[in-house]
Amino acid sequence: MIRIFQKGFNYSQDGPGNRLVYHLQGCNLRCPWCANPEGLARTGGSERSVEELVEEVTRSRLLFFDGGGVTLTGGEVMVQMPQVLELLKRLHAMGIHTCIETNGLSAELPELFPYLDLLIMDVKHYDPAVHQAVTGRENTLVFANITVALNRGQALALRIPLIGGFNASLEDARGFAKLFQELGVPGRATVELLRYHEYGKDKYKQLGLPYMMTEAAKVSKEDCERFAEILREQGVTIVRT
Ligand code: SF4
């Protein structure tokens, strides 16, 4: 069974075209800016079998226009291996365009690559120690998974959630640029910058949880553009979705 806390159609945000997006329950990180606090615990949501999901996708096929398909996101999809692997295998065999969005912190991630048309992966920081201090885990595994994906020719879209005071200064931009050079990202994967937003704030209130983020986390469009420019100078392709 797969635990899901939200699903819906989305156009061209989590992969190409019109997509059925499933948000899977549970996450192995605790980012203070998380917009989906209801999806963090491993319990909760509703349980659906792989078979039920395959049927639902089959019924929705006509809606996958403009190169659309199915995206699995979270929470963190890798928390629900091996069911995720089984589902992706089934969808891939049906010729459905498949995509996952992941924080990349799973050694099992490459097992999914043969069944994935697009891998969207977060890179939250270039310094594993800072990543550990803020999210609860260091992230060298993310860098290793990027290398495996690129060596395999896996279509890869990287995302940086830009959070003021954490990773959004120009010095940080140079840190990411250096990391991407070392990993061979330029010309082989795209990078998207996602400015911090407060969409999840009310959910924390509803759940009775403290909201740790302050105004200082906000990043202006101008600062985001300067950040992007430093990456572009190093040959990184910046995209907006
Ligand atoms: S990895 Fe994503 S879902 Fe998990 S805590 Fe961080 S922002 Fe939230």
What string of H, E and C letters represents the secondary structure of the chain? CEEEEEEEEEECCCCCCEEEEEEECCCCCCCCCCCCHHHCCCCCCEEECHHHHHHHHHHHHHHCCCCCEEEEECCCHHHHCCHHHHHHHHHHHCCCEEEEEECCCCCCHHHHHHHCCEEEEECCCCCHHHHHHHHCCCCHHHHHHHHHHHHHCCCEEEEEEECCCCCCCHHHHHHHHHHHHHHCCCCCCEEEEEECCCCCHHHHHHHCCCCCCCHHHCCCHHHHHHHHHHHHHCCCEEECC
Taking CA atoms only, the protein residue closest to ligand 1 atom 7 is 34
Predicted local distance difference test score (pLDDT) of residue 125: 98
Second CATH level (architecture) for the domain 2-239: Alpha-Beta Barrel (3.20)
Give 36 Cα–ligand 1 centroid separation in angstroms.
Answer: 7
Amino acid present at 99 = C
pLDDT value at position 198? 86
Tens-binned pLDDT, residue by residue, of the chain (241 aa): 999 999 999 999 999 999 999 999 999 999 999 999 999 999 999 999 999 999 999 999 999 999 999 999 999 999 999 999 999 999 999 999 999 999 999 999 999 999 999 999 999 999 999 999 999 999 999 999 999 999 999 999 999 999 999 999 999 999 999 999 999 999 999 999 999 988 889 999 999 999 989 999 999 999 999 999 999 999 999 999 7
Ligand 1 atom nearest residue 161's Cα: 7
Q: Which of 14, 30, 34 to mutate to test the pocket of ligand 1 (most atoms within 8 A of CB)?
A: 34
Per-residue model confidence (pLDDT) at position 111: 98
Site to probe by mutation for ligand 1, drawn from 31, 109, 139 as the one with most ligand atoms within 8 Å of Cβ, is 31
Q: Of 32, 30, 10, 17, give the one whose Cα is nearest residue 200.
A: 32
Taking CB atoms and a 6 Å cutoff, what residues make up the pocket around ligand 1? 27, 29-31, 34, 36, 40, 74-76, 103
| pTM score, whole prediction | 0.97
Q: How far apart are the CA of 50 and the centre of ligand 1, in A?
A: 24
Give me the residue spans of the domains in the chain.
2-239
Please give the distance, rounded to the nearest whole angstrom, from the Cα atom of residue 123 to the centre of ligand 1. Answer: 12
CA of 112 to the centre of ligand 1 (A): 20
